[in-house]
């Protein structure tokens, strides 16, 4: 079962994850532009209608979460994930689950519904369910009690269906042990690397061999697909000059972000700490407090804080006479901070208790806090707000221009309407640097699925500028003439032959491997160095070697230490000796096994849920009615 999970991890679990993201985080894509009537039916799922109202409610609930999580990258990420389509698909999935639950006869009693509502802590007051709080929260979210309870009843019913469907799924002890071993088994290996570079000088080729190598490897000397486009860019600066910022907006921003313009007070202090944890017995804790008080009296008598800190303090600062350096409010625990900021330079506190124990604090220096006045930062705030308004306008034009380009089909005229000039590029590929645009890699990724005559756009950093383009020409990939790439042919052919020579030498050396000293003797005769590495069975990057699945597979195939092996991968050849193979002792093994069992159970449940959803979709009649959602592929 574990092996099957690994084989499908790249599809089932990724889809589950993407589905989770889609159902949890949604970003605005101008919903008001595309939908008018609030009773519009977006889709039909079997005999049920999925309404615009349902979509908008879900959308509005998740919008703020998505923006809070991803900030300035939210729009771009939403576009990349095609979240508008993902959200619709997840709502369709919900309808299918509800339909399946109803067909299976699942019901939710009034008592179950009440218990579920009463268990939700956000409806609690003083630790108990409070009906007034319940009503108030629903009202704040623009929900009636009846609407909320109807939807909640449906969700609980669907949840009961899923719970029943997934009952009986178990992870055996053998599977837990296998997974634990795959995550924790340690391999210590000695190895030799036969570097092809050491054989380059021994390689020679005849002209005929070079020609043959060139003809046998056309892909290595291929000119990638190339593009020519006409384009113009819109940047942040183009909209800043026309952005108007009113005085009240500046004042409001200043008040809202006053902490940005506040330099907090700072204190430079020393302390003597007598440690006492919260789990310490009361009698022992009192003894620690008494010890701190004795030091305080000794300090009052002798007055040498640094020396007493070195002598008595029980933390890292003791070697520096208790010095803690400068700190601001919020950087120390509350009791310590309150005492320190109440002192003047040179003053010593009483004994102060904190979660770490008992402190005696001396303040050496203080810096007063400072608040910049609005007039001092007005220009900075105005610039910030202008940029924000300019970016909003830039993004608005970005959303509008795709449709406008398709309709008007005149890139030059559109560019002129923004006082821009459409520019033609030379042919470029993904490795090119385009004058005025920079690296072409992201642009080529955008162009790959398009054809000559297509219009498109590419969102980049707003300072760089968003690109609006039309593809004028495309050159399909072609093998470059031999004379043009002759030096490259020579270099690649020599490297290939050097790799073969290195592998042949390694193979001959492998025949002499007999005991643990053999690697050393081979290293000496070939002027190599025996190296060591350690890794676990589930690693991908082997220290000192990197990502080499053949090396990993061949080491894992050795059943016991004192065994030799070798590997070849992407021109790299190794001989190795398995020095040690063991599963380290785990003092908390039972808890570790329980955690592994829960992880495997979660993954397996997700896999079965995905499979069941695929079954439900295959037997369902799903009709997407709104054309805005029909312009991209539907599916899970």
Q: In the listed set 476, 505, 530, which residue is the last one of a domain according to the structure?
A: 476
User: Is residue 496 located within the same domain as residue 472?
Assistant: no
Residues 119 and 154 in one domain: yes
pLDDT at position 35 is 40
213 has a pLDDT exceeding 70? yes
- Residue 149 in any domain: the answer is yes
Which range among 50-54, 159-163, 542-546, 628-632 shows the weakest confidence by mean pLDDT? 628-632
pLDDT band at 28 (very low <50, low <70, confident <90, very high): very low
Q: Confidence class of residue 7 from pLDDT cuts 50, 70 and 90?
A: very low
pLDDT value of residue 61 = 64
Terminal C-alpha separation, the chain: 24
DSSP letter, residue 546: B
Residue 39: the pLDDT is 59
Residues 6+ apart with CB under 8 A from 354: 333, 335, 336
More confident position, 380 or 136: 380
Domain count, the chain: 4
Cα–chain center distance at 337: 36
* CATH, residue 443: 3.10.50
What is the mean pLDDT of the segment spanning 22-43?
46
Residues 405 and 313 occupy one common structural domain = no
- Output the CA–CA distances (angstroms, integers) from residue 379 to 91, 241, 252, 254, in the order listed: 47, 14, 14, 11
- Do 322 and 446 reside in the same domain of the chain? no
- Look at residues 230, 632, 233, 224 and name the one whose alpha carbon lies nearest to residue 444: 224
Residue 323 has what pLDDT? 94
Q: Cβ contacts of residue 65 below 8 Å, gap of 6+? A: 24, 25
pLDDT per residue as tens digits for the range 70-100: 776 676 676 777 777 888 888 899 899 999 9
Q: Are residues 67 and 112 in the same domain?
A: yes
Domain boundary among 452, 476, 500: 476
Let me know whether 230 and 211 are in one domain.
no
494 closest CA partner among 204, 193, 218? 204
- pLDDT digits 0-9 by tens, 49-77: 888 888 877 766 666 666 777 776 676 67
Structure tokens belonging to residue 331 = 């950087």
Instruction: Give the pLDDT band (50/70/90) at residue 418.
Output: very high
Angle at 370 between CA 368 and CA 372, to 5 degrees: 170
Residues 197 and 125 in one domain: no
Q: Please identify, among 442, 476, 510, the residue that sits at the C-terminal boundary of a domain.
A: 476
Contact 359, 298 (CB under 8 A): no
Provide the domain limits for residue 520: 186-221+485-582
**What's 274's domain CATH number?**
3.10.50.40
- Identify the band that residue 633 occupies on the pLDDT scale cut at 50, 70 and 90: very low
Q: Is residue 621 part of a domain?
A: yes
Give me the phi and psi of 104, to 5 degrees please. -80, -5
- The CA distance from 508 to 505, in Å, is 5
37: pLDDT strictly greater than 90: no
Residue 512: what pLDDT? 85
**Same structural domain for residues 490 and 554?**
yes
């Amino acid at each position: 079962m574990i092996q099957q999970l690994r084989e499908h991890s790249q599809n089932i679990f990724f889809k589950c994850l993407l589905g989770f993201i889609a159902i949890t985080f949604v970003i605005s894509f101008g919903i008001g532009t595309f939908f008018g009537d609030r009773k519009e039916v977006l889709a039909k799922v079997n005999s049920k209608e999925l309404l615009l109202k349902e979509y908008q409610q879900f959308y509005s609930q998740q919008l703020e979460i998505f923006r809070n999580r991803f900030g300035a990258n939210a729009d771009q990420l939403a576009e990349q994930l095609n979240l508008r389509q993902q959200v619709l698909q997840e709502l369709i999935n919900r309808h299918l689950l509800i339909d399946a639950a109803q067909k299976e006869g699942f019901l939710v009693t009034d008592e179950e519904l009440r218990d579920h509502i009463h268990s939700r802590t956000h409806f609690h007051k003083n630790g108990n369910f409070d009906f007034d709080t319940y009503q108030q929260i629903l009202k704040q979210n623009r929900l009636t009690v009846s609407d909320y309870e109807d939807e909640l009843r449906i969700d609980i019913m669907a949840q009961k269906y899923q719970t029943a469907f997934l009952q009986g799924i178990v992870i055996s002890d053998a599977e837990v042990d296998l997974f634990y071993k795959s995550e924790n088994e340690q391999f210590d290996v000695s190895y030799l690397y036969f570097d092809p570079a050491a054989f380059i000088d021994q390689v020679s080729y005849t002209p005929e061999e070079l020609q043959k190598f060139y003809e046998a490897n056309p892909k290595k000397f291929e000119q990638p697909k190339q593009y020519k486009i006409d384009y113009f860019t819109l940047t942040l600066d183009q909209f800043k000059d026309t952005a108007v910022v009113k005085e009240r907006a500046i004042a409001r921003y200043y008040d809202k972000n006053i902490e940005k313009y506040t330099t907090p007070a700072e204190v430079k202090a020393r302390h003597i700490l007598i440690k006492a944890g919260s789990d310490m017995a009361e009698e022992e804790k009192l003894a620690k407090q008494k010890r701190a008080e004795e030091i305080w009296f000794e300090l009052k008598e002798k007055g040498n804080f640094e020396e007493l800190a070195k002598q008595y303090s029980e933390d890292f600062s003791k070697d520096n006479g208790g010095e803690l350096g400068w700190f601001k409010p919020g950087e120390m625990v509350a009791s310590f901070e309150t005492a320190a900021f109440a002192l003047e330079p040179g003053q010593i506190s009483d004994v102060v208790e904190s979660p770490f124990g008992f402190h005696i604090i001396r303040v050496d220096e203080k810096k007063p806090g400072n608040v910049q006045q609005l007039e001092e930062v007005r220009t900075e705030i105005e610039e910030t707000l202008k940029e924000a308004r300019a970016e909003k306008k830039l993004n608005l034009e970005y959303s509008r221009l795709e449709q406008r380009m398709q309709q008007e089909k005149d890139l030059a005229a559109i560019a002129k309407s923004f006082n821009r000039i459409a520019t033609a590029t030379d042919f470029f590929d993904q490795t090119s640097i385009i004058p005025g645009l920079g690296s072409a890699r992201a642009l080529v990724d955008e162009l790959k699925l398009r054809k000559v005559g297509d219009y498109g756009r590419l969102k980049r950093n707003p300072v760089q500028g968003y690109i609006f383009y039309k593809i004028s020409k495309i050159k399909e990939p072609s093998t470059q003439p031999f004379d043009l790439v002759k030096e490259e042919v020579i270099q690649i052919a020599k490297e290939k032959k050097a790799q073969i020579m290195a592998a042949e030498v390694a193979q001959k050396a492998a025949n002499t491997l007999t005991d643990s000293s053999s690697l050393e003797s081979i290293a000496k005769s070939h002027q190599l160095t025996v190296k060591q590495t350690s890794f676990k069975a589930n690693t991908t990057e082997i220290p000192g070697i990197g990502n080499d699945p053949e090396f990993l597979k061949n080491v894992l195939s050795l059943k016991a230490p004192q065994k030799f092996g070798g590997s070849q991968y992407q021109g790299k050849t190794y001989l190795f000796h398995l020095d040690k193979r063991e599963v380290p002792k785990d003092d908390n093994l039972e808890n570790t096994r329980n955690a592994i069992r829960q992880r495997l159970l979660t993954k397996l449940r997700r896999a079965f849920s995905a499979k069941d959803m695929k079954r439900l979709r295959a037997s369902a009649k799903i009709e997407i009615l709104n054309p805005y959602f029909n312009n991209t592929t539907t599916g899970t």
